[in-house]
Chains A and B, each alone.
Chain A
Amino acid sequence: MMSASHTPDETKAALHEVVTEMYDKIVKGEAPTMTLPVRTKNNIGFDNALGVYKYGKKKSVRDATSLGSAKQLLRALHVVEFIEEMIDAGKSSTLREMYYISESWGLGKFSSQNESNNLAEDLEAVTKCMREDFKLRPEEDGARMIGNLTLRELNRRGEWMRINARDDVGDSGYGVPYNVEEEKIELVEHDINFIMAIETGGMFDRLIENGFDEAYKCGLLHLKGQPARSTRRILKRMSEEWDLPVVVFLDGDPWSFRIFASIAYGAIKTAHISEYLATPTATYLGITADDIEAYDLPSDDLSTRDVDALKAELTDPRFADAWWQEQIKMMLELGKKAEQQSLAKYGLDFVTDTYLPEKLADLGLA
């Protein structure tokens, strides 16, 4: 098992490099700068060794010649100082707490939480550290999980609890904590054939009510839309450590395609840590563009935003393979999108009795 963490000294040294770059520029009589990898789809490439998409060699230089980017640099310095203080004091904070703490940073204060989240990711990308090294925690709450799988979690009293995600949990399942690294979660054993990741809570609950996890011996994971880091991380760990296939069951729209890409190939915004978060073996189960026609699903017209998103995906390297290109083009041609729950058109059991068995059979899982 790989480990993402750096020692506090390594982390500080890496952060000081960022600060030194600015300082040295001023000494040389130039505008201070911060150099970081370009974090767009134009700078991600497939890493053959890791099997995921990572940032390429393109760098962007943020220099203090405009007010906006100068403020970014100043904020970065405040964040660095704040991280060092936390490391020294043995504390941690949430990203949201940091956003509020920035109120006292004067000119370096954040104007939105999005800005502080982005800057934390910037610093991760530049220093190759993880935000756990920075003592920054996400706000996001992790996913829910149900199925015959057992893990051990270190609770607040410092005791390891053994939890079976079928027998020891209620209807809402096992809640995935934000830290799913080995020091917190241990994967013990399982009796399942595959894991199914599901976009919406409604569908997750439908499968549980219909007893799908038992009938098909699988683990169900609720993604809650765009999955949090910890959700992607635990999916990856289960897939690798237990060597289980992962299928992903989402709505049939351009945004679901992106969710899948972030699970299987790595997200553009976090491509610097794709190897920790992405599950390259994951398979897209549905809703596919051809499902909309094949099952004659109730659908909505694509909005202009949808169409723009699909067009952008056509040039996204993660969707470069023939199957995705075909799916995207097909959806554009249809001009339609469909939700997972549109399967209910044929009754509440249709999804578990007909749709999923058929789709899983195609993949050799049923």
Chain B
Amino acid sequence: MTDTAERMAQNQKQVAISEFFEKNKHFLGFDSLVRSLITAVKEAVDNSLDACEEARILPDIRVKVTKIDDKKDIIELQTEDNGPGIPKRSIEKVFGQLLFGSRFHAIRQSRGQQGIGITGVVMYSQLTTGRKTHVRSKIATETSAAVVDIGLDTRKNKATKANEDREIWELPDGSLKEHGLEITCRMKAKYQRGRQSVYQYLRMTSIVNPHADITFEDPDGETHHWPRVTERLPRKVESIKPHPHGIHLGTLQRMCTEATDNRMTSFLYKNFSGVSTRAAKELLAAADIDEKAKPKSLKPENYRALIEAFQGERLLNEKPVKLLNPPTNCLSPIEELLIKKGLSKTIDSRFVTTMTRAPTVTQGNPFQVEVGLIFGDGMAADKPVEVLRFANRVPLMYQQGGCLLTKAIESVDWRQYGLDQAGGRGVPKGPAAILIHLASTNVQFTSEAKEALADNEEVLDEVRKAMLEMGRGLRKHLEKKKKMAKTQEKFELVNDIIPAIAAKSAAILDRPVPDLSGSITKIMGAVLAESETVWNKETKQTDVTITLFNYTSRARAYTILAAWPEKEGATMEGNEHGGRKEATGVWAWKLDTLDPGQTFTLAYSLSGLEKGDWTDTDVFFRGSQDVIGATKMDEKLLDEIRRREEVLSEEESAEEDDEPDDDDESDATVEAEPPRTAGQQTLMGYGSDV
């Protein structure tokens, strides 16, 4: 009898754990065969990225998907990283225990807010194929790697180990692996291409993790590689204390009962961000609580009153208590230039504009919005633009329609910025991709599936503002492109077509070919500038040529100015015509008089850049007659830029002496960095062309 009872209990446990999986598979991410594989990759890659980030290692990540049994949908997934590895004794904890980890109470931006982590993958593999997950881990201080097969004892609900061993981890090139982790598991899953696929997930991950080098071997044997585009690791994120605006009753209660502080004033001041000693006193006064009260002895009505004071519903002197915003150094934005690089490496295109908005706060939670727009020939012109959504550097791949970020895109009338959009609503159409990244300490999703962001006025407003600004940049780019096409036409006209007409008509009439200069001057009646910016593979430089053609009947004199990426660290080489610096990023050459029909070419190279960093050069001129293909220098704007540079350089030197000290725990009033001005003003207006 006891035997049966135990067997039953055993069965019950087993049922319970399978049931747990079955019931929760939607929010665990294992609800379909396709999604299960994506989720597994996601858990593994997120872990790798987090581990590398914490250990300050530039991540090299390899993902391999192999079809084992096509009919039964059995797939093997292998992931490998160069992270710190996991000490042997911790392996079973990391892989075999539900909800292991320390992310739950920290208030900071973190990737792992989803699912139950890598344990879910181990469990899913075991439940669908009965196989254990093979782990190989090497830490720097040991010479050999630990290997072990991890499974789950569904009865005791803990990890089981098998085939524990140590081995030398040799890499394909014969060298030894210094540190890192490799996971191999088999599961019932389906590999699929398209918008919701492992490929797309890794591609998107690579865009928002420009510091990572990601390689993907797909089941068809094809290898996809997204190289690292920056050596800079994401800023280390700091944990922050909760802000009164974002606190709920239960949390406050728990904090009070756990508090070790003797007085309410110091409790508020020490455990919350945005609360100065003065604000603490004011909050207590508004809530009718004695400053000297012990946090542990608060009564239920005190909690409620305090929450009301937090929310500004209880007034002091008829005004809500003023609180400082929470610090925003807990956020780690990707930053404009890196988004640009990330986008450029996955999508080959001419125009990219990106922007990182200043951090701001909603309901006591700091958040920051970053957007990018890439436009060009590589993408389909008659399809809706690709929407790339991210929350805390994690790609969101499902439920696009219901997501706040999509709604923000849809709320913009893109027609005025040169994209097609039926009725000025919905996701616009055109050869473009729009990236939106929300970095926040508290990302609100519409559901447990954590694939769509919930509505929030402030976030929507920030995203919308960023969209509008990018839209303006796009319109500028399209206008410029149109102008360039026109110039190109003029060149074809006078260089190719008119000479052909002259030759052919002369041949038909059997007369000599007439001189063309008169006709050409008459047709053009203008000075033309043509600029070319090309990447030189041999020299690893960006070669720029600017050619000026005088197609007028008079001699002309000009000063030509060109924008160049000085701020991005480029240097100018081989600039034989000298010239001088007009402002940061603006070079000027005073040219000799150009006679009618004469041509003059300026040439220089830019070094210190990578391919794709600088693909187009804006040319400006000073002179009386218009130059087609160049923009008349806006002297006022140039002065403005010079003035701003002076101010900035003064500020920079001042900042150096005044490093804020983050370690000072008691200093809750330290504000985050001053809000940056939105966008960057350049000679072409806001936004920038690549």
Contact = CB atoms under 8 A, between A and B. Distances in A.
Interface of A: 16, 19-20, 22-23, 25-32, 64-67, 70-71, 73-74, 77-78, 80-81, 84, 106-108
Contacts of B518: 26, 28-30
Which secondary structure dominates chain A's binding surface? helix
A73 B502 CA distance: 11
Given A23-B506, A64-B497, 12 more contacts: A16-B509, A26-B518, A27-B514, A29-B518, A30-B518, A31-B522, A64-B523, A67-B492, A74-B504, A77-B501, A84-B508, A107-B497
> Taking each of B505, B506, B522, which has the highest tally of chain A beta carbons within 10 Å of its own beta carbon?
B505
A22 B503 CA distance: 11
Contact of B519 (A20, A30, A80): A30
A77 to B, nearest CB: 4
B495 to A, nearest CB: 11
Which secondary structure dominates chain B's binding surface? helix
B259 interface: no
A28 B514 CA distance: 9
Interface of B: 489-490, 492-493, 496-498, 500-502, 504-509, 511, 514, 516-519, 521-523
A22 B508 CA distance: 11
A107 B505 contact: no
Contact of A29 (B504, B506, B522): B522
Contacts of A25: 519
Contact of A81 (B502, B504, B521): B504
A16 B521 CA distance: 26
A29 B507 CA distance: 19
Contacts of A27: 514
21 contacts: A16-B509, A19-B505, A19-B508, A23-B509, A23-B511, A26-B498, A26-B505, A26-B516, A29-B522, A30-B522, A31-B519, A32-B501, A66-B489, A67-B492, A67-B493, A67-B497, A70-B498, A73-B501, A74-B500, A81-B508, A107-B496
A67 B489 contact: yes
A64 B504 contact: no
B501 A70 contact: yes
Contacts of A71: 497
Given A66-B493, A67-B489, A78-B504, A32 B498 contact: yes
Contact of A74 (B490, B501, B516, B522): B501
Contacts, number: 83
B502 A26 contact: yes
A127 to B, nearest CB: 14
Contacts of B490: 67
B505 A22 contact: yes
B358 to A, nearest CB: 47
B514 A74 contact: no
Contact of B505 (A23, A66, A84): A23
Nearest to B511: A23
Nearest to B502: A26
Contacts of B521: 29
B497 A74 contact: yes
Contacts of B489: 66-67
Nearest to A21: B505
A287 to B, nearest CB: 37
A84 B516 CA distance: 26
A28 B521 CA distance: 12
B500 A107 contact: yes
B510 to A, nearest CB: 10
> Taking each of A26, A31, A65, which has the highest tally of chain B beta carbons within 10 Å of its own beta carbon?
A26
A31 B514 CA distance: 12
A297 to B, nearest CB: 36
Nearest to A15: B508
B528 to A, nearest CB: 14
B492 to A, nearest CB: 6
Given A22-B505, A77-B501, A70 B493 contact: yes
A158 to B, nearest CB: 35
> Taking each of B496, B508, B511, B519, which has the highest tally of chain A beta carbons within 10 Å of its own beta carbon?
B508
A81 B504 CA distance: 9
Contacts of B508: 16, 19, 77, 80-81, 84
A22 B497 contact: no
B509 A70 contact: no
B514 A26 contact: yes
Contacts of B519: 25-26, 29-32, 64
Contacts of A30: 518-519, 522
A196 B493 CA distance: 52
B514 A23 contact: yes
Nearest to B518: A29
B497 A77 contact: no
A80 B492 CA distance: 23
A20 B509 contact: yes
CB-CB nearest 3 A-B residue pairs: A29-B518, A77-B504, A67-B489
A340 B504 CA distance: 51
A70 B492 CA distance: 10
A86 to B, nearest CB: 14
A16 B510 CA distance: 11
B67 to A, nearest CB: 48
A77 B505 contact: yes
A26 B509 contact: no
Nearest to A27: B514
B113 to A, nearest CB: 53
> Taking each of A29, A66, A106, which has the highest tally of chain B beta carbons within 10 Å of its own beta carbon?
A29
B459 to A, nearest CB: 42
A70 B494 CA distance: 10
A81 B505 CA distance: 9
B628 to A, nearest CB: 14
A66 B519 CA distance: 13
A104 B366 CA distance: 66
A107 B502 CA distance: 13
> Taking each of B492, B498, B507, B511, which has the highest tally of chain A beta carbons within 10 Å of its own beta carbon?
B498
B504 A26 contact: no
A65 B508 CA distance: 22
